[in-house]
Structure 1
């Protein structure tokens, strides 16, 4: 972790919340980290709290994506950035478990979602990751990092 930066983790899973706290305690990172467990809708922070927010593979589970984006916008400082990392729908379709409880996003669907929010889309760049697992049925995964400006 970079010195002089404070990290805040937010999760709806009590298990993940406890695991993150345990990991940081075991690795001497407690002074730079805070973890908050919440119900998944109303983010428990004051307006304009954060400079940057980064989320990986959570977009699929947001019950009300537009409302959640606006909550993230509320807690970002003016000029703040939100980075959303998500696997493309094409790659997600190759995983059988994503048929249950996942909302999948193509680049167009993601960009439309952002246009309907308070954010401005700075970029939505594609990356390709090589997969070496024997369990998965494909050898590469396409994912994107959307960079949004407050």
Structure 2
């Protein structure tokens, strides 16, 4: 697997991953009806570095972004968002992107990484982040309106780098 910076040439592949995730409405707070153009504009916004994980044939399996979590005096803590294509689930793509993002964040000089809103019902993600050294440092009770589960908690997760 190769993890590399994304280019605009990756937009269709990225949309094929983030589109279904956004439409499902189970893990991101984004509007489920977000257009392709608006979703890609969000993912590729100027404050983010975007990466893709591709197999040996160049097929994009997942994508993530990295950015400062806050401006100014909080800019030493980064934030990231990850999405994996359905066909790639269970193949270690998210773990590889997580490890890559931690290493890249360290290389960029960030001192910590914080996830502001991990939906508690996304148990695979919570377990993955914990296995990579992230702690749950906060819980936002009923902060996420899950399409099947109703109002569920959102977790704040943090790791020093």
Same fold at TM > 0.5 = no
TM-score, normalised by the number of residues in structure 2: 0.42
TM-score, normalised by the number of residues in structure 1: 0.44
